[in-house]
Amino acid sequence: QKEVEQDPGPLSVPEGAIVSLNCTYSNSAFQYFMWYRQYSRKGPELLMYTYSSGNKEDGRFTAQVDKSSKYISLFIRDSQPSDSATYLCAMSAGSTLGRLYFGRGTQLTVWP
């Protein structure tokens, strides 16, 4: 079993839809949870960063962490064509090495 599981999609939605992206994990030591956005042929860009359980909102984006279920989510409200990208979840235990464990990424297309 991989440490982080993420449905690769692809996911295709109309503009204005609410998008839900999810990851599950198995390591209860993970404390820091991230979502990266990666446009085609570009490096991943840190989108959201959350410590421990709870919600964090930034504009149209909301990140949720449920440590009891080992489940994290990213919600995108009022999705735009510019949101079309691959979204990678990542998490870490905060060790000295700073190692991150990534999901495989979900490819999202928002069509006008």
Cross-strand bridge partners of residue 32: 51, 92
- Give least dist CB 84 to other proteins, A: 17
Comparing CA positions, the residue from 28, 22, 35, 24 lying closest to residue 2 is 24
Counting contacts by CB under 8 A, is residue 63 touching other proteins?
no
Q: Tell me whether residue 25 or residue 44 sits nearer to other proteins (CB atom).
A: 44
Counting contacts by CB under 8 A, is residue 92 touching other proteins?
yes
Phi–psi pair at 56, nearest 5 degrees: -140, 130
Taking CB under 8 A as the criterion, the residue among 43, 59, 68, 82 binding other proteins is: 43
Counting contacts by CB under 8 A, is residue 100 touching other proteins?
yes
Long-range pairs for 61-70 at CB < 8 Å and ≥24 separation? Answer: 61/35, 63/33, 63/35, 65/33, 67/28, 70/24, 70/25, 70/26, 70/28
Taking CB under 8 A as the criterion, the residue among 44, 65, 74, 83 binding other proteins is: 44
d(CA 56, CA 44): 20
Counting contacts by CB under 8 A, is residue 83 touching other proteins?
no
Binding-site ranges for other proteins (CB under 8 A) = 8, 32, 34, 36, 41-46, 49, 51, 88, 90, 92, 94-100, 102-105
